[in-house]
Structure 1
């Protein structure tokens, strides 16, 4: 484990574990489960070890152990009990907790060991859907509440990207179907969150489709060049931050006028920014999806 000193407020622990601050205080007072340090003004301050212990306590409690029983366990028995339950129960929750610890500690070894353990019983796609996606959703909330720093978010994002790219690389020998359409994957200008798009690229390639991955912040006009090279084109994009909600209808209409004038071109679109979009008003060759899974099932 890295020798990085990390301390947490009770609000940080609430955000990271999902356990309400009021409940944490009760567990401390009634069961002496955590022993926080206190500032001169009597504000609680928790160590990294306390955070790890609370994650384990939360896991045991969520899997049916009463808090009074957990309190009677010796300190060294708690992680052992977690491993016992994780080995025969839902491993995803345990893996997500382990990856949170890897993120907080910038611990690459823990990230790789957790991932490799998951690979023993799951495919890469199953890991992405059941572990990586929920983790990324949680991290987004933690970043918004200032519980973690951009460095933490970048650490976990880069490692997940590496796994997607590694799995895409393994598909290089898989030739696209001779009659397949071409999928062009891109993010609009000023949009840099490409993990979802990378995974869609992996799914398309694994199904034998021809893909062109352009990545982040692509000007709309530059996409015109690709229509000269490929006959049947489906554009794919993911709106996480950009464009802003007020600008999305204008973006969609401009995209339709510029790039979708041929009947064999389409635009697949998804992302949280689409939540307020009036679907009845969009052009017929633009298709929206609520999740990566729903898009993949459409293929």
Structure 2
């Protein structure tokens, strides 16, 4: 699919991207003429990218103590300048502003804006802080925007690949100086036909950073393909990230298959991602370790004496 910039937005699109209810946006239009929607030849209202940018800037000012009645008196340029002033005075630590800038970069396929936003954050924060405080919330919002058809797959792939570049860069950086202080190896993989890789890549980063060896297998791996690793690396644990697969109905059978193949030899499978919500831990095999978040998993591997049994 070609990267065609989305230039027309419905009021529901604005609601999804800004977090402001459509009803409130309409009130602001009528009371303050904050936005002036255009109309198609068939009289359907729509908003432009400039309207979206203005609305996101307005939201930022409101979050920083301004009143809508005062903000609405200013032009789009003046509003943007006020945002820039606040950011400059308080550093680029405003998560919402950074997230909004990255959303604009995504909608506009503007990699330079993404890099500018990321680099400004990097002046104030570590990569870990940026990932947990900015990129994870951004990815969660993108998931909702995709579900509501506010964005299409080309937007999603564009921003995912930019984030992937940053994760890979940091993995390379720590691998060049990493010392394996633990004898445990982690094999990282996505289930068959699962391709949402960002969470797994960040787990790779965290595991290497904490002194473990990683065997990164990547996307769409069948359980039977792990057999070789279990034979040749007896001190290994498996980690997977389930976003959309396996299907919910297939999940119990998937966990059972892992346990039948590897559980008797005390191999563990750590599971992260959306599908964790559907795992009944009480009914799961002992070899299955659901993790509710990346932070929870990191806390587990940071323990001085890690119990893998």
What are the equivalent positions in structure 2 for 1:20-169 lying under 5 Å apart?
Answer: 20-87=21-88, 88=90, 90-169=93-172
- Hey, what does 1:183 align to over in structure 2? 186
- Hey, what does 1:238 align to over in structure 2? 241
Secondary structure of the equivalent of 2:278?
coil
Q: When the two structures are superposed, what TM-score results if normalisation uses the length of structure 2? A: 0.92
Secondary structure of the equivalent of 1:253?
helix
Q: Which 4+ runs in 1 deviate beyond 4 A? A: 2-5
Q: When the two structures are superposed, what TM-score results if normalisation uses the length of structure 1? A: 0.95
Residues 111-144 of structure 1 deviation map (CA, whole Å, 9 limit, x = unaligned) = 1010000000111111011111111111111111
Q: CA deviation at 1:179?
A: 4.2
Q: CA deviation at 1:212?
A: 0.5
For the residues of structure 2 that align with 1:8 and 1:73, how far apart are their CA atoms? 23
For the residues of structure 1 that align with 2:179 and 2:217, how far apart are their CA atoms? 18
For the residues of structure 1 that align with 2:21 and 2:141, how far apart are their CA atoms? 16
Q: Contact 1:245/1:274 (CA < 8 Å) preserved in 2?
A: no
- Hey, what does 2:8 align to over in structure 1? 7
Q: CA deviation at 1:3?
A: 9.5
Count the aligned residue pairs: 297
Q: CA deviation at 1:277?
A: 1.9
Q: CA deviation at 1:5?
A: 6.0
Q: CA deviation at 1:67?
A: 0.4
Question: What are the ranges of 5 or more consecutive residues in structure 2 without an aligned counterpart?
Answer: 302-309
What are the equivalent positions in structure 2 for 1:220-259 lying under 5 Å apart?
Answer: 220-259=223-262
Q: Contact 1:181/1:234 (CA < 8 Å) preserved in 2?
A: yes
For the residues of structure 1 that align with 2:132 and 2:257, how far apart are their CA atoms? 33
For the residues of structure 1 that align with 2:139 and 2:5, how far apart are their CA atoms? 23
Q: CA deviation at 1:47?
A: 0.9
CA RMSD of aligned residues (A): 1.6
Secondary structure of the equivalent of 1:198?
helix
Q: CA deviation at 1:39?
A: 2.8
For the residues of structure 2 that align with 1:294 and 1:251, how far apart are their CA atoms? 23
- Hey, what does 1:283 align to over in structure 2? 285
Secondary structure of the equivalent of 2:25?
helix
Q: Contact 1:192/1:216 (CA < 8 Å) preserved in 2?
A: yes
Q: Contact 2:291/2:297 (CA < 8 Å) preserved in 1?
A: yes
What are the equivalent positions in structure 2 for 1:261-280 lying under 5 Å apart?
Answer: 261-263=264-266, 265-280=267-282
